[in-house]
Chains A and B, each alone.
Chain A
Amino acid sequence: MKENKSNIILKTENLSIGYKTKKKEIVVVSNINVELQQGQLIGLVGANGIGKSTLLRTLIKVQPSLSGSILLNGIDLKQTTTQELAKRLSIVLTEQLTSKNLSVYELVALGRHPYTNWIGNLSQKDTQKVDEAINLVNISELKDKKCFELSDGQLQKVMIARALAQDTDIIVLDEPTTHLDMYHKAYILKLLQRLTKETGKTILFSSHEIDLAIQLCDTMLVMTNDTIICDQPCNLIKKGVFNSLFPKDMIAFDTKTGSFKITQ
């Protein structure tokens, strides 16, 4: 992968993540060295409590890293202002919206905030980008609905459209498939895959749908207790990485089907 270095959107160097309290540092994972290529769909998987959210929160600059650096487009995240970052990285979080009394169009249009004037008026280019995002995610029939009228699956699509409207190189989603039924889990991940193909954006998401991620992702980040492995899904299966993901007393990874089976 060394040959196309210019296509690396996000890169970490000896990154160490965790929490700082007054007395000590709690290191969740250290020595993270990953490179995310442009235009790829990247899935981050790992057991509960292993630190997926901590990693994502560090990558989107919501919480500070303990040591090492994160390079976005070759520029250190620490040197990027909030305003600059808003034009390069957009997010979809698991947290509830404060107000669901916005119409879908208004919500997607909020994604244009980094580009609009002091009062947030949309220029012609802004409305064009908003329409583009709404069409890409196929939610034009929801445009005038209020957010509290939407199902979880619809709301997730709207949030993805909002991130698209922000027009950034990379979109980071924290567990976009939680609370969704099996169909919508597949639907959302498939949508993300299509978006990387059609827009050339890099999309990084964390998920517990390992079998779906194996089928759809270009690259996967597998988080285990002490390290993060970054590779293509088929290579990860060959290396047997998924077997080490969970304790073996309950489930085991079946390399033939690419999914987990209950052990007897």
Chain B
Amino acid sequence: MNKSKTYKPQFLLLAFLLILCFFVNISFGSVNIPFKDIFSGLFGTIDNSSWQVIITDFRLPKAITAILVGSGLGISGLLMQTLFRNPLAGPFVLGISSGASLGVALVILGSGLFGGLFAAALTSKWSIVIAASLGSFIILLAVLAVSSRVRDTMAILIIGLMFGSITAAVVSVLSFFSSAEQLQQYIFWGFGSLSNLSWSELLIFAGIYLAGLLLSILSIKGLNSLLLGDNYAKSLGLNLKQNRLIIIIATSLIAGTITAFAGPIAFIGLAIPHLTRQIFTTSNHKILLPAVCIFGAIVMLICDSIAQIPGSDYVLPINAITALVGAPVVIWLLVRQRKMIF
């Protein structure tokens, strides 16, 4: 769109950082594997067979999950911020995560209500994934249905928060009637986790993610005209309703599956688009979308590397790390620039 300015240097730097973070992430873990063996491990030519298993079955899927989660949350945050014309918007604020939480709570905590054998089937990974996706999609549709009646953007945010409160209340009621075991399972899901994904699960995750990504790419043009406001976008021939629906389906596919597979990961969805705008100083989605994608992946890989606490056996909840590391960075950037670019 902009003929005078290209963003090649920034993209090259980001790509380089992504590759670097990817290898650093794989080399970190409770078992210390030398860096040169990591490379051979990735190509399956390592001598030590237990190291080989650690790399191909644990660290590599985890790193790929981190990339998908980081980039996906960044994209869905960007889509929501443009659609709702609000820099505070993100999957977490607008109820996608709380919708997913409700779905998962119903399955994990409510499984006691269905009883016995049925419960075992319900708490399988797939039912959690489906419940989370359905929950986030329904809550987002509800928020959108209500928000289409109000024009004030602040009102839309408050409506999103209200839906969040409602779902939180339902979750509280459910947890009141659940066993300690179920509760613990639900709380651990809430911490967020990038590990424990098998290759077949990762394949499904990546498939849905790619579908969402494709829809996001298709709506780039619409997103750019939405930067002018709804009426201008319509005057440029944009089908507002259809475009809105595509953006919401893309967001709920991406953010819903991420929340399903990796738990409700806070902060990334809100912060990555802002950080990217500060670096690239543009609102053009043709630049922002790929930039947010790569940048989100980098930040998630870094956060995951920190969560491993190199050299120790502990793994901190990823949800805590993203905010602990990221929030100060966002504050620092905003204070330094004295102005938020939106």
Residues of A near any B CB (own CB < 8 A):
60, 62, 82-87, 89-91, 93, 95-99, 101-103, 105-107, 109-111, 113-114, 116, 118-122, 127, 143-144, 146, 166
The DSSP consensus for interface residues of chain B is loop
Are B3 and A105 in touch, CB under 8 angstroms? yes
Interface string of B203-245 (1 = CB under 8 A from A): 0000000000000011011001111110110111111000000
* Bound Cα distance A99, B85 (Å): 8
Closest B-chain residue to A101, C-beta based?
A: B283
| A99-B342, A110-B225 given; A93·B2 CB < 8 A | no
Closest CB in chain A relative to B222 CB, distance in Å: 9
CB pair A113 B234 closer than 8 Å = no
Chain A CB within 8 A of B32 CB: no
Judged by DSSP, the binding face of A is loop
A96-B229 in contact (CB<8A)? yes
Q: Are B231 and A91 in contact (CB under 8 A)?
A: yes
Closest to A92 in B: B232
Mark out the residues of chain B between 121 and 158 whose CB falls within 8 Å of any chain A CB in the assembled complex.
none
Are A114 and B237 also in contact (CB < 8 A) when A98-B229, A101-B277, A119-B220 are?
yes
- B88 → chain A, closest Cβ, in Å? 14
- At the interface, yes or no: B282 with Cβ under 8 Å from chain A? yes
Chain B neighbourhood of A119, CB < 8 A: 217, 220-221, 286
A105→B2 CA distance, assembly (Å): 7
Are B238 and A91 interface neighbours, CB within 8 A? no
Quote the shortest CB–CB distance from B241 to chain A (angstroms).
10
11 contacts between A and B (CB under 8 A): A82-B237, A82-B238, A91-B232, A97-B228, A99-B227, A99-B283, A102-B227, A109-B2, A110-B236, A113-B224, A113-B238
Interface residues of B in 1-40 (CB under 8 A from A): 1-5
Q: How large is the interface on B (under 10, 10 to 19, 20 to 34, 35 or more residues)?
A: 20 to 34
List the 9 shortest-distance A-B pairs measured between CB atoms, nearest first: A86-B237, A101-B283, A120-B221, A83-B237, A99-B227, A113-B236, A114-B237, A99-B283, A98-B85
Q: Which residues of B contact A (CB under 8 A)?
A: 1-5, 82, 85, 217-218, 220-221, 224-229, 231-232, 234-239, 277, 281-284, 286, 341-342
Contact among A60, A105, A120, A121 for B235, CB-based, below 8 A: A60
Given known A-B contacts A106-B2, A120-B1, A85 and B281 have beta carbons under 8 A apart: no
Please report the C-alpha to C-alpha distance between residue A9 and residue B98 in the assembled complex, in whole angstroms: 52
CB-based contact B220/A120 at 8 Å? yes
Given contacts A95-B231, A98-B226, could you give 10 more A-B pairs where the C-beta distance is less than 8 Å?
A89-B235, A91-B232, A99-B283, A101-B342, A103-B282, A106-B284, A110-B227, A113-B236, A113-B238, A119-B286
Chain A, residue nearest B237 (CB): A86
Least distance between B238 CB and chain A CB atoms (Å): 7
Query: A105 → chain B, closest Cβ, in Å?
Result: 6
Q: Which single member of B218, B224, B235, B341 contacts A91 (CB below 8 Å)?
A: B235
The docked-state distance in angstroms from the alpha carbon of A105 to that of B235 is: 19
Please give the distance in Å from A69's CB to the nearest CB on chain B.
20
Q: How close is B148's CB to chain A, nearest CB, in angstroms?
A: 15
Cβ contact within 8 Å between A86 and B2: no
Q: Are B227 and A113 in contact (CB under 8 A)?
A: no
| Alpha-carbon separation in the docked complex, A13 to B246 (Å) | 38
**With A62-B231, A110-B228 in contact, do A144 and B4 touch (Cβ < 8 Å)?**
yes
CB A143 to nearest CB in B, in angstroms, measures: 8
Given the complex of chains A and B, what is the CA–CA distance between A95 and B234 in angstroms? 14
CB-based contact A120/B342 at 8 Å = no
Distance from A199 Cβ to chain B, minimum over Cβ atoms (Å): 18
Max chain A Cβ within 10 angstroms of own Cβ: one of B228, B234, B284: B228
CB distance from B140 to the nearest CB of A (A): 20
